[in-house]
């Protein structure tokens, strides 16, 4: 990504403020690419953020999340809400287009200017995906979205991190033997605030609702919210309205109990801590001779003359940090 001139950034932000979708896409790309312009742009947009309500939708592959998100978005559009959709695919970079296929189909469905869709695939590293997801949501928030729907495949730790970016987390399961056990294994039972048994026309839907409710009773209670279990058939649109009502009820619960504010405060604190740590590290590594000294110590550890723990203690003392 080439350096964009300052005047160009301002022009970009002017177009962004006018609601230009291409400008929004460009801003997202700059932030995703960690371009030099990302920080000043996010700084400028910061006062505009914090208005959108963020809904995470997660679940195992094949649960019908994309269709559900699409139908939920259409439903939100009936109330004239502006909707952002962030589809996160933490799959391998060389899986390429195939896996993203259904999302591309979803994108093709929307020519509605009140809906903004962004697909995020990992490009090599998974590490920064959760952070980038949060930043993309922030930008869509500043862009004026009332609701942001974040779709992730619920199979591992990554999704738990991404779910942290959401205000309400919807876990989507299908009536299939073993699906609820897999959900349990993947940690989904802990993060769900609303559960959705999708494809509920299939056999075993009611049994699955019961299974989920039983598992939820075993869950340690942190607050007074009891996660509801909604039956949906996303393809026909069945249950979408109830799902929306449950999300709204959860939102009211979070807002009136001030949990929403507390969560956002915690997110700010985490964000500051993380950025501070990054900045501190990069500062240290820029010190004269530091890299070279670390390489010396790496060799000393390789030949087992010192342990990694001793090496770190040594580096710390040499740089004048008192214990």
Q: Which residues of this chain interact with a second copy, rule CB under 8 A?
A: 39, 42-43, 46-47, 49-50, 61, 90-92, 94-95, 99, 126, 153, 155-160, 181-182, 184-187, 189-190, 218-220, 261, 264-265, 268-269, 271-273, 275-277, 279-281, 283-284, 294, 297-298, 301-302, 304, 307-312, 315-316, 321, 323
Question: Cβ 160 to a second copy, closest distance in Å?
Answer: 7
Task: Kindly tell me the burial class for residue 176, based on how many C-beta atoms sit within 10 Å of its own C-beta (0-12, 13-18, 19 or more).
Answer: middle
Between residues 235 and 272, which has the closer beta carbon with respect to a second copy? 272
Tell me whether residue 99 or residue 107 sits nearer to a second copy (CB atom).
99
Q: Tell me how far, at minimum, the Cβ of 293 lies from a second copy, in Å.
A: 11
Q: Name the minimum Å distance from CB 242 to a second copy.
A: 27
Strands 168-173 and 53-59: parallel
CB of 287 to a second copy, least distance (A): 11
If the CB atoms of residues 112 and 310 are measured against a second copy, the closer one turns out to be: 310
- In angstroms, what is the minimal distance from the CB of 37 to a second copy? 13
**Which CB, 19 or 127, lies closer to a second copy?**
127
Minimum CB distance to a second copy, residue 78 (Å) = 31
User: Is the CB of 108 or the CB of 218 nearer to a second copy?
Assistant: 218
Nearer to a second copy, 113 or 221 (CB): 221
How far does CA 128 lie from the centroid of its chain? Answer: 11
Alpha carbons 16 and 8: distance in angstroms, whole number: 12
């Amino acid at each position: 990504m080439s350096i964009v001139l300052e005047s160009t950034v301002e022009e970009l932000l002017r177009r962004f403020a006018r609601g230009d979708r291409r400008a929004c896409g460009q801003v997202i790309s700059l932030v995703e690419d960690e371009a030099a312009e990302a920080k000043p742009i996010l700084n400028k947009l910061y006062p505009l953020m914090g208005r959108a309500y963020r809904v995470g939708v997660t679940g195992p592959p094949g649960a019908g999340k994309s269709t559900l998100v699409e139908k939920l978005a259409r439903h939100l559009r009936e109330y004239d809400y502006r909707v952002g959709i962030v589809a996160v695919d933490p799959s391998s970079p060389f899986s390429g287009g195939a896996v993203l296929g259904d999302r591309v189909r979803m994108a093709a469905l929307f020519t509605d200017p009140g809906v903004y869709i962004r697909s995020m695939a990992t490009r090599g590293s998974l590490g920064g995906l959760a952070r980038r997801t949060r930043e993309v949501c922030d930008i869509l928030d500043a862009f004026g979205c009332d609701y942001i729907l974040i779709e992730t495949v619920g199979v591992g730790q990554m999704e738990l991190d991404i779910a942290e970016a959401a205000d309400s987390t919807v876990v989507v399961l299908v009536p299939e033997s073993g699906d609820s056990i897999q959900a349990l294994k993947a940690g989904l039972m802990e993060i769900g605030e609303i559960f959705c048994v999708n494809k509920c026309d299939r056999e075993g839907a009611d049994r699955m609702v019961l299974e989920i409710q039983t598992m939820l009773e075993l869950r340690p209670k942190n607050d007074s919210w009891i996660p509801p279990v909604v039956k949906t058939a996303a393809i026909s649109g069945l249950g979408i309205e109830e799902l929306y009502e449950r999300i709204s009820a959860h939102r009211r619960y979070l807002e009136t109990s001030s949990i929403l504010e507390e969560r956002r405060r915690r997110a700010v604190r985490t964000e500051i801590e993380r950025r501070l740590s990054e900045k501190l590290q990069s500062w240290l590594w820029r010190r004269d001779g530091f890299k070279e000294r670390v390489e010396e110590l790496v060799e000393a550890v390789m030949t087992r003359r010192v342990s990694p723990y001793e090496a770190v203690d040594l580096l710390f003392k040499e740089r004048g940090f008192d214990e």
